[in-house]
Every structure is written in C-alpha cells, then in structure tokens.
Amino acid sequence: MTIDLFTPMTLGRLELPNRIVMAPLTRNRAGPDNVPTALNVDYYRQRASAGLIITEATQVSADGVGYPATPGIHSPQQVAGWRQVTDAVHAEGGRIFCQLWYCGRISHPDLLGGKSPVAPSAVKPDGEAMTMQGPKPFVTPRPLATQEIEQIIADYARAARLAQQAGFDGVEIHAANGYLIDQFLRDGTNQRTDQWGGSVDNRARFLLRVIDAVSKVWRPDQVGVRLSPENRFNSIADSNPAGLFQYVVEQLNEAGLAYLHVLEGDMLSGERKLDYRKLHSGFAGPWMVNNGYTRDTAQAALVTGEADLVAFGRLYIANPDLVARFASEAPLNEPDPETFYGGGAQGYTDYPALDTAETV
C-alpha cells in the first residue's frame, strides 16, 4: 500500500485520520499570567482537522518563560484555559499534544521577575531577548546548580500531569531550537564538568531524564520529542552535530516514544547538510519531519518512507483547513509574517477557510 498524506495512522493509542500535523507555533497571544484565552480556543478549533495538533511551546514553570504572552502549564488558571482548547479540538474530532518548554538562557530578567535566566553554563547568546518593552540584549545566564536541575526535571513531570488534567492526548518535549534541553545537548552551551556535561552521554542526560520523568506520567507512546540537529537559531552550536544527534536518536529508540519530530536544516536560512536518512535509520518508531515542506515534497517524503508524518508551520498559520485544501489541491492562503507574533485575531483566526460549497 502506498502511504501518503491521507493515509490514517495509529500513533500510540490514537488513530490519526491523516499524516498532516500542525507544527508547534509560538504566536504570543496568551492572556495575562500566561493563560490561554477564548481567542486561542478559536484558533486551535479552526485547525482541528489536522491529523495531530502540537500546541505552541508552553512553559513548564514560571522560571522557564522566554517571551511575552506565551502560555504556561504550571497554574490552575492555565490548566482551565487549556481545557477549553482541548475540549474545543475534541468536539471537532481532533487530537492535540501539549509542547513542554523551558527557555533557559533565551530569556531576560524582565520576563523572570528580575531573576537571571539559567542555563547549563554561563554562555551568553548573541542577539536580543524579546521583552514587554521590546528587544533587549541577552544577558549572561547563571549556571544551574545540581539540585536546580533536579527541580526542573520535576517541573516537567508536574507539567505532564497538568497536561493530563487539561485534557491533552499527549505531550511533546521541546528539545530543539536552542532552548534549555538543546543548551544541555550542545558543547557550545554546555561546558559543565559534572555528570550533566562533557561527554555526549553526559550532555544527553538531561533530555533522557526529562523523557523518563514525563514517561512515568504518560505512557511513553503518548510522548513525542522534538529535535533540531542543524538549527543555528538562538545562537546554538555544537562541534559535531552529526555525531551528537546520531547518538541521541539511537538512545531515544529505546524509549518507546510516540514519535520523534525532527526540524530539518536551519530554521532561518533553510540550509540543510545533515544526512537525515542516516539519522532516521537509527530510530525504529514514527518519524515526523518539518521545515518548509509543501504538499508535494511532503507526499514524496511519505511515499518513499523518509517520513511517517509531516508537520506544517507557516502553512498552518494561514490555512486553518489545510487538510481539505491539500485533499482538493486547492490554492493556499499566504501567511503574513507581520502578524506571526503578538496581536489579536488579525492574522490569527481571520484566515479564511475554503467555501465548502465550492469544493464539493
């Protein structure tokens, strides 16, 4: 049987009607105290025909914040807000995972009640943090003490439990894009000499411990992990990304995860050099790819077996009914980058769906 975008798939306990995934997308439209709002409910409801929705990155603790107006999953109000989202998606027949996030050094004291951002080591990112008062230069982060690392692992476990209370179908651990877990993985940001740094297995320890903690709350096949081996976003760097991520992928192979989600290439330039077939060959479970796929390139990746699922970001911003548009090969709305981050309904919930009368 040829597998394509419209072939159903069993993912852990879930039956997905198609392989079209809504990628996690930071949109900076959460309400006060990082609580999801009715507007966020509308946005996710509109996109419920996706095979799977992965939420925007969601902080596991108030100390994990890195941007204004991003949602959290550490307070009862946030759980109640997310419950509205999951109920709306489920009422439309959809499925939704919560992406668990801790920003680490990609933050600013202004976002942390004056506290210093934390990281494996005191390595300052290049560039600027996004604060309520606009961009401000990054500061040098404070290296985490051993007991603080254990506390953050416990924060992930608590967030995993709260995601169950909020009605999610699973969680995705955000280990990509230069945030805290990625900061531990890479030797550019992890210069520790204890059990959390140095060798590749020491640098992978934090990710593996987080997976272990979250997999005690959810079944492992309800837990996904996102990696971005070649992404340079957030001034992340490693001396040997191919070796590091081959090791990580092979370690994760034993975890019985729902899927591994790989952002291919560099997020901003699109440059792509790594051998993803080799990386994929180290993992036996479902393989989700992302970054710039179109309907046709996604079909090709599925047909050849290079991927089992494809996540779409920008296309999902602009096309709430992406599944129907792909199915009928209808034209796509163009996303407007001006309204990606922050604001209200404009550029968020006002992208039109196809007029169904035209397509039947």
Active site residues: 179
Contacting ligand PHB within 72-131 (CB under 6 A): none
Would you give the DSSP letter of residue 211? H
Contacting ligand PHB within 24-63 (CB under 6 A): 26, 57
Identity of the residue, 79 or 129, whose beta carbon is nearer to ligand PHB in the bound complex: 129
Q: Residue 29 Cβ, how far from ligand PHB at the closest point, in Å?
A: 12
Residue 44, class by beta-carbon neighbours within 10 Å (0-12 exposed, 13-18 middle, 19+ buried)?
A: buried
Q: Residue 10 Cβ, how far from ligand PHB at the closest point, in Å?
A: 27
Q: Residue 26 Cβ, how far from ligand PHB at the closest point, in Å?
A: 4
Q: Residue 119 Cβ, how far from ligand PHB at the closest point, in Å?
A: 16
Q: Residue 106 Cβ, how far from ligand PHB at the closest point, in Å?
A: 8
Total binding residues for ligand PHB by CB under 6 A?
5
Identity of the residue, 26 or 121, whose beta carbon is nearer to ligand PHB in the bound complex: 26
Identity of the residue, 59 or 299, whose beta carbon is nearer to ligand PHB in the bound complex: 59
Alpha-carbon span 319 to 322, nearest angstrom: 5
Alpha-carbon span 294 to 325, nearest angstrom: 12
Identity of the residue, 57 or 236, whose beta carbon is nearer to ligand PHB in the bound complex: 57
Identity of the residue, 248 or 302, whose beta carbon is nearer to ligand PHB in the bound complex: 248
Alpha-carbon span 66 to 112, nearest angstrom: 8
Sheet strands (E) in 23-138: 52-59, 96-101, 118-119, 128-131, 134-137
9-11 and 14-16 beta bridge pairing: antiparallel
Closest C-alpha to 66, from 149, 4, 13, 136: 136
The mark string for 165-184 relative to ligand PHB (x by CB under 6 A, - otherwise) is -----------xx-------
Q: Is 349 in the site for ligand PHB (CB under 6 A)?
A: no
136 C-beta neighbours (distance < 10 Å), count: 15
Decide if 350 contacts 42 (C-beta within 8 A).
no
Q: Is 67 in the site for ligand PHB (CB under 6 A)?
A: yes
Query: In the complex, which residues of this chain contact ligand PHB (CB under 6 A)?
Result: 26, 57, 67, 176-177
